Amino acid sequence: MEMVNEKPESWQSFDEGLHMLKIGLTGGIGSGKSTVADLLEASGIPMIRADRLARDLINENKEIKDELIAAFGPEIYDEDGLLRRKFVADLVFSDPSHRRKINEIVHPYVLKSQQMEMDRILSGCDIKMVGVEAALIFEAGAADQFDVVVVVSAPLADVLHRLEKRDQLTREEILNRIESQMTIAEKEKRADYVIRNDGSVEKLRREVDGLMIWLEEQLRLRSSEDSGVTPESS
């Protein structure tokens, strides 16, 4: 997307009567989508982190735990009742059918939970936008939950460097995880807006500034469409 350097006087300077905007934020593994989510949150948009929701549900929801144990055995949880993350990582990246089974069990609960959380946040009188950062929005069939979907992409060399340093993964492990997800080219094709994380943090910050301006415009356009008033005549 073309970068926009001009910054509005206030991200929250919305007109009375404007409707609400639900934003999905996704991207490939190691693309920097969490950093983008942090920048959006700093700009005033509440951000729900789907991975945290999923982690809490997997460790606390009895129905999910029972289904996972039935599918993979009691060793999927440790003695404290917490998911054995290394055990699961080895499962899902060694056999795609295991990944599909886990997603079939967990995703419906996560989607319901994040929808409820978005609705709860938007019930606040001063909140006009809310976002969800999630790795598998398209893969989980969750795009319809959102008014717009933003994809963060990054060069493969940057992704490899970031994950080798952050997660202590080998190049082969990283490539296997990348291959387990939808290609970034396909995600970009389905996106409403693409952020390219291919430079410095400051460049990424300017990209997010441009995204914020675009999101404000989307909010105004949707409000105008619902009210029957075109932006030109308002």
Per residue in 181-227, pLDDT (tens digit) is 899 999 999 999 999 999 999 999 999 999 999 999 999 988 777 65
- Which value, in Å, is the radius of gyration of the alpha carbons in the chain? 19
Count: domains in the chain: 1
* pTM of this structure: 0.84
Confidence of residue 1 (pLDDT cuts 50, 70, 90): very low
Q: CA–CA separation, 190 vs 2, rounded Å? A: 18
Confidence of residue 231 (pLDDT cuts 50, 70, 90): low
Q: CA–CA separation, 107 vs 202, rounded Å? A: 34
Among 205, 218, 221, CA closest to 4: 205
pLDDT digits (tens, 9 = 90+) for 140-190: 999 999 999 999 999 999 999 888 888 888 888 888 888 888 999 999 999
CA distances to 5, 56, 88 from 52, rounded to whole Å, are 32, 6, 16
- The pLDDT of residue 138 is 95
130 close to 48: Cβ distance less than 8 angstroms = yes
232, part of any domain: no
CB atoms within 10 A of CB 81: 9
What CATH number is associated with residue 114? Answer: 3.40.50.300
15, part of any domain: no
1, part of any domain: no
Distant-in-sequence, close-in-space partners of 68: CB < 8 Å, separation ≥ 6:
58, 76, 77, 83, 102, 105, 106
Q: What range defines the domain where residue 131 resides?
A: 21-217
Residue 14 has which token pair? 């919305």
**Average pLDDT taken over every residue of the chain:** 87
